[in-house]
Amino acid sequence: MQNLLPPQLHVFVRDWLSSNNILLKSRDGHVLIDSGYVRHAPLTLALLASERGLGHDPLAKLVNTHCHSDHMGGNAAVARAYDCPIAVPEGERPLIERWDEVALWIGYAGQSAERFTPDESLYAGERYVWGDLEWHALAAPGHDMGALVFFNAEHGILISGDALWQNGFGLVMPPQVDPAALPATRATLEMLATLDVGVVVPGHGEPFADVAGALDRAFSRVGAFEADEHRVARHALKVLLTFTLLDRQRMPLAGLPAFVEQVPIFRDFNARYFGVSPADLAERLVRELERAGAARRDRGDLVAA
Ligand SMILES: [Zn+2]
């Protein structure tokens, strides 16, 4: 898929714990979009320093599509290594400046990130030139209410963050937690459908060209969520548990009830939506992860599949 992209745009495809790192090279200065998860920061730095990355060149700027831990967890490490400014979407900046562990889904969701200081804001509607290409920043609220996507009309490239993946989009807060999130998710997909996109560079997974197919799948997921808000809550907890499991690799099954009792987002969603014991919630989530092929039980532990 890299052959659909201009040569100065390189995508380091990562995994579900770390977002993709998108490098835009130019004689005017190289720009990196998203830095991955904090635990993977050494790998992010190694990729950046590789031949396909920067080699020995400096980095002019680090940009975030949005400020969740899998996209900005390595910001501090990258800024330290390259002494470069960090630009975040305008709506994320106050959350980062006060390091809001709830709004950023860090402590609230049992995740971590190294604190950093943003230097610049990015604004929806503005155009930025990175990698000798003009990028139109567009508001893409939903998964993250302050998220931006970046669209290059000349080549039809959309850098979508977690607003659109080949199969779905980033987890969405259920209506009782944020009534605006699901309607915003639909509105963002409708906005993306109006763009003439030839290739999507998502926050996770390989770049892809079947944009219509991805939008169809995303709209049908939104429809299913709109029809059943419990499903939104269940999906979010499944995704968050999978994320923690990827971070820790294995979690003792016996400790899961305490985990869902202690991590605030699990406790909150259980109180609002499920009303079951922590042991019940843990068992339900484990079964769903097994069914989805995301995890398996192994000698008393839950392990990432
Ligand atoms: Zn992400």
Distance in Å, CA 299 to ligand 1 centroid: 30
pLDDT in tens, the chain (305 residues): 667 899 999 999 999 999 999 999 999 999 999 999 999 999 999 999 999 999 999 999 999 999 999 999 999 999 999 999 999 999 999 999 999 999 999 999 999 999 999 999 999 999 999 999 999 999 999 999 999 999 999 999 999 999 999 999 999 999 999 999 999 999 999 999 999 999 999 999 999 999 999 999 999 999 999 999 999 999 999 999 999 999 999 999 999 999 999 999 999 999 999 999 999 999 999 999 999 999 999 999 999 98
| Torsion of the alpha carbons at 65, 206, 247 and 69, rounded to the nearest 10 | 0
Distance in Å, CA 80 to ligand 1 centroid: 22
Distance in Å, CA 163 to ligand 1 centroid: 9
Amino acid at 163: A
Distance in Å, CA 165 to ligand 1 centroid: 10
- Cα–Cα distance for residue pair 193/285, rounded to 1 Å: 33
Q: How far is CA 136 from the centre of its chain?
A: 20
